[in-house]
Structure 1
Amino acid sequence: MRRENEFRYSKLANILREQILSGYIKPGQYLLSENELCKHYGMSRTSVRKSLDRLLQEGLIVKKMGQGTIVSPDVLVPHNPRRTLRIVGTAPSYFADHCMQMMIQAYELENPQIEVKYLSLPVLDFWDSVQASTELGLQPDLIFISDRQCFEVEHPESFLDLREPLASSFAKQYPRIMNAFRREDSIIAAPVTFSPVYLAYNPGLFEKYGLSAPKPDWTREDFIRAAQKLTVDTDGDGITDQYGLSLSSAFSRWTVFALQNGVSFEGAADRQAVLRTLTFLHDLLYRYRIAKLSPIHRPSSEGFIHGKAGMVLTTSIELAGWLNEGMDFEPQVAALPFGDNKSTLIIANAFMVPADCGDRELALQFLQFTLGDSLQEAISRDRRFLSVQQAVNARMWDKPTLDSLHIANERFENSYFLSEVFADFDLMEEMDIEMGLFWLGLESAEATTNRILDLLHAQP
């Protein structure tokens, strides 16, 4: 736990240091308040304060009593004679934390006359932050984003169509992933990694409680029985402190249950499918009491990471982040057993090239390099992320695992980006508000179903 907390505040200190030394926050300008930093980067006040203390010791910031924190007027942004490629990316991001520097170092090794500068911006209000950096004169050559951030782009014509310059790279990718970033006749983003949302389990706990590894055809009843055996009061104090499943109320997780049960969030949804989904979630949490609800801002689940939950819905991007941060066991992939429809969600990270970027040639060269065979293999082999190249994943992962991940053969077509499930992200926010009492166990599945259907039927 201590190492994990140190990683968090070191990460924020690195992000703020990047912003200061790149000139994004200029000498004399105020940083975000502690409350705003907590909110924008999803960190505790303790981690934020430790991050600021580190920058204070380095002489990069000055605290003004009762006013806030400013960049020290004495900070000098170093001049670099090398040709510079500027990348702006979203934070927090497991891929950026554990792969970006590797990619940059490999690229700079082959191109010593070029320096790559990476600037992390908060995920909250990300596009506003990109606009602010541009207005400050820090025009990015590349923008690193999540699939949702790409789908939030209001003016796709502001980004380069990557079909022709990256045609050879796209020819090796999964068409399902590449085509998700099409806007009319253009491809406005180049995916660099992706993952379905899948079920991971702790093999050590399964063995400890006499459970066999989940079979490819295991059923919902098999899942419930396994979760019941894994739900234990380990220290005999009368309080259950280990659960079968760590469950998140984030839409990027619980929606998988809905998809598996045939729910459509467009127009006239099937009432029985919605009710079946919500009833099962309540069963897990409050009838069988074999699942523990994790905070929505941490769908990664502290319980699973620290061996206090036997299973969790996750992604290879999230899981690779845990493993690279030192998790002490190797989770395995299990088939999703929650319904008759073998469907799930997909997430992805990608690069976009602003149409008015300062160095289009360098931006495209960097993308061709990161999408090449050698680096895609390194991403998978050394950092445990899925490659966007089907051939690379076929070499690095066995077929049963690919089947469980829903990325083998035609089953990949039953996986959806969140933007394909919810055409209007405002609907998700409205549903989130309506489901507050449901997640607390204070409103029945039937009542919540009625409220959700009212929202869906009210869509234009």
Structure 2
Amino acid sequence: MYPWERFLVLKKRTEFDDRYQRFRREIRNQIISSTLKPGDFLLSEVNLSKLYNLSRDSVRKVLAELEQSGLIEKIPGKGNIVRESEQWKEETVLRLVCFDDSYEIPTLLQLISEFEQENPRVRIEFSTVSENGYGEYLSDKLRDNEAHDMMVISDLHFRKFADEGLLDKLHASHPYEWAREEDVYGEAVRLFQDGNQLKAVPFVFSPVVYVVNKNLVPEADRLTIDDWSDLTDFAVAHTVKDEQGTVQHYGFGFTITNNRWPQFLLQNGGGIFDAEHRSIFGSGETVEAFRYCLDLMFNREVSPASIYGGTRIVEDLFMKQKVAMIIGTYHYMNEFGNHFMEWDVVPVVPRNSKKATLLLGGALAINASSPHVTAAKRFAQFLVRYDSQKQFKMNGCTIPVLRKVAEDQTLFNPAIHPRNYHCFVDMLPYAHSIQSLGIGQRDLDQIQKELVLMWMKMEDPEDSVKRIEEQMFHHEGNGTDNNRGYLKV
């Protein structure tokens, strides 16, 4: 396809989306504002199709949504009639909570305002809670049946709810009730699935990627890293020390958190549990992966020993131009937006035995016991529609879950996005969720604590993994709950 042909395709797609959303918005507003009164019949599908220049399938899709929302009723042989509903006579107040340092808050506030304009009898009360303790706050509220109507959560919070048996407190839906399966990234959807039910509606996601400081790495645009040997060579070549041996800046770094180091295990064919829920944490592959990380930090001294800082210490060093390349996410790239350095995503997925990286996501969870589930579902649908998803992309680096928005290069903004923004498409085939490790968040957190001695060089990796495996996995019949794949510790 020639570039001009691609432009025409995208232009036609955008024009269709504009017509579709206009129809969707206008018909809903006419009902909610009582321009169309209870008992009034809508125009026929044929006439609506002609009026808005849409196919009848597109018209039917909107009408089905209105029927599901309780706004209209389909009468066979007659048409669609506006329903009498007390729900729309009084204002509905939806309470939405989010952790306070989410990069999506500005876009969410903008979308809330637009949603309220389209739904004049619905008001959203938005509040934030400190990220420290946010998961515990949500769990307590769900457990006490005092949760907000809607909650912005990450896949980490979702795994925490699963550990604590709280997923039944979240409204369940079919995984693709919100969008057609081919229109969204299934990898992001599965982050929030419990069996065949979707328990939170994903709207953004990110693979774990390599981010490079182009001021320190002039060859970044042609950088190739295929395996750990290449990664080591890069880290050595870009670590600079003064005459006294003091490091001026490191070649490579990653924060020692449980959404970073597991990718080294996966890249070496190691992990925590295999497909049959048998522990492989004590395997030679896992030990070798940890030895590799420690070698970079302590033997070669080409990566900072980030155990001594907070959860974002390496990212902070990166912004101070003290690390040439780090492991990061599209979420955290929003932090770099107003920074003076030139940076980019490196389109690589290193391996030792296989390519692998991790996948993270953000979603809207709906309280199943909320009296306003119908209105909350409408807001969830609003977040994943084309116009809303476009705003997530245009306002930041985090990847929208709607495929045609995420991959639309006409929405690329060089003032916000790294040059290689769209390389995530090539990384997705190698992206694994934390769930794929076969372990719950509680036990992953426990492993993180138990590994501190190893990261501080107070315990050999082989001794660490064997001790942890023995303590956590080799009791009560291997310690696994085969129905859910979580450990009993």
Is 1:440 paired with 2:435?
no
**Deviating 4+ runs (over 6 angstroms):** 134-138
Compare CA radii of gyration and give the structure with the larger one.
2
State whether residues 256 and 343 of structure 1, in contact with CA within 8 Å, keep that contact through their aligned partners in structure 2: yes
> Matches of residues 161-180 of structure 1 in structure 2 within 5 Å?
161-163=172-174, 166-168=177-179, 172-180=183-191
State whether residues 250 and 296 of structure 1, in contact with CA within 8 Å, keep that contact through their aligned partners in structure 2: no
Correspondence for 1:330 among 343, 349, 355: 343
C-alpha deviation, 1:136, in angstroms: 10
Partner AA of 2:95 in structure 1: R
Between the aligned partners of 1:299 and 1:103, the Cα distance in structure 2 is 32
C-alpha deviation, 1:308, in angstroms: 1.0
Task: Give 1:342's aligned residue.
Answer: 355
State whether residues 141 and 354 of structure 1, in contact with CA within 8 Å, keep that contact through their aligned partners in structure 2: yes
Between the aligned partners of 2:189 and 2:378, the Cα distance in structure 1 is 19
Task: Give 1:227's aligned residue.
Answer: 235
Shift in alpha-carbon separation, 1:328–1:115, aligned structure 2, 3 A? farther
Between the aligned partners of 1:274 and 1:164, the Cα distance in structure 2 is 34
Q: Structure 1: where are the runs of 5+ without partners?
A: 1-80
Task: Give 1:288's aligned residue.
Answer: 300
Between the aligned partners of 1:213 and 1:453, the Cα distance in structure 2 is 42
C-alpha deviation, 1:182, in angstroms: 2.2
- Secondary structure, aligned partner of 2:98: strand
Between the aligned partners of 2:339 and 2:171, the Cα distance in structure 1 is 38
C-alpha deviation, 1:143, in angstroms: 1.1
Between the aligned partners of 1:103 and 1:181, the Cα distance in structure 2 is 22
Task: Give 1:106's aligned residue.
Answer: 114
- Secondary structure, aligned partner of 1:120: strand
Shift in alpha-carbon separation, 1:455–1:414, aligned structure 2, 3 A? farther
Task: Give 2:370's aligned residue.
Answer: 357
Between the aligned partners of 1:142 and 1:327, the Cα distance in structure 2 is 37
Q: Deviations over 1:144-190 (max 9, x none)?
A: 11112112221333222232894436552112221332223321110
Between the aligned partners of 1:127 and 1:240, the Cα distance in structure 2 is 37
Between the aligned partners of 2:92 and 2:357, the Cα distance in structure 1 is 43
Is 1:424 paired with 2:431?
no
Between the aligned partners of 1:369 and 1:333, the Cα distance in structure 2 is 33
C-alpha deviation, 1:378, in angstroms: 1.8
Between the aligned partners of 1:155 and 1:430, the Cα distance in structure 2 is 20
Task: Give 2:98's aligned residue.
Answer: 89
Between the aligned partners of 1:455 and 1:414, the Cα distance in structure 2 is 31
Task: Give 1:142's aligned residue.
Answer: 150
Is 1:116 paired with 2:129?
no
Between the aligned partners of 1:199 and 1:355, the Cα distance in structure 2 is 38
Shift in alpha-carbon separation, 1:293–1:106, aligned structure 2, 3 A? farther
Calculate the aligned-residue CA RMSD, in Å.
Answer: 3.1
TM-score, with length taken from structure 1: 0.71
Shift in alpha-carbon separation, 1:128–1:433, aligned structure 2, 3 A? closer
C-alpha deviation, 1:412, in angstroms: 3.0
Between the aligned partners of 2:167 and 2:325, the Cα distance in structure 1 is 39
Task: Give 1:218's aligned residue.
Answer: 226
C-alpha deviation, 1:353, in angstroms: 1.1
Correspondence for 1:249 among 234, 244, 256: 256
Partner AA of 1:303 in structure 2: L
Is 1:371 paired with 2:384?
yes
Is 1:239 paired with 2:253?
no
- Secondary structure, aligned partner of 1:369: helix
Shift in alpha-carbon separation, 1:420–1:310, aligned structure 2, 3 A? same
Task: Give 1:393's aligned residue.
Answer: 406
Shift in alpha-carbon separation, 1:165–1:119, aligned structure 2, 3 A? farther
C-alpha deviation, 1:313, in angstroms: 0.7
State whether residues 353 and 363 of structure 1, in contact with CA within 8 Å, keep that contact through their aligned partners in structure 2: yes
TM-score, with length taken from structure 2: 0.68
Shift in alpha-carbon separation, 1:173–1:401, aligned structure 2, 3 A? same
Task: Give 2:332's aligned residue.
Answer: 318
- Secondary structure, aligned partner of 2:264: helix
- Secondary structure, aligned partner of 2:462: helix
Between the aligned partners of 2:262 and 2:143, the Cα distance in structure 1 is 38
- Secondary structure, aligned partner of 1:192: strand
Number of matched residues? Answer: 370
Shift in alpha-carbon separation, 1:168–1:357, aligned structure 2, 3 A? same
- Secondary structure, aligned partner of 2:124: strand
Partner AA of 1:272 in structure 2: G
Task: Give 1:201's aligned residue.
Answer: 212
Q: Deviations over 1:277-299 (max 9, x none)?
A: 01111110011110012324226
Correspondence for 2:289 among 256, 273, 277: 277
Correspondence for 1:156 among 167, 180, 194: 167
- Secondary structure, aligned partner of 1:292: coil
Task: Give 1:35's aligned residue.
Answer: none
Shift in alpha-carbon separation, 1:401–1:441, aligned structure 2, 3 A? same
Q: Structure 2: where are the runs of 5+ without partners?
A: 1-89, 480-489
C-alpha deviation, 1:300, in angstroms: 5.7
Partner AA of 2:134 in structure 1: F
State whether residues 201 and 334 of structure 1, in contact with CA within 8 Å, keep that contact through their aligned partners in structure 2: no
Task: Give 1:380's aligned residue.
Answer: 393
Partner AA of 1:174 in structure 2: Y
Shift in alpha-carbon separation, 1:237–1:109, aligned structure 2, 3 A? farther
C-alpha deviation, 1:402, in angstroms: 7.3
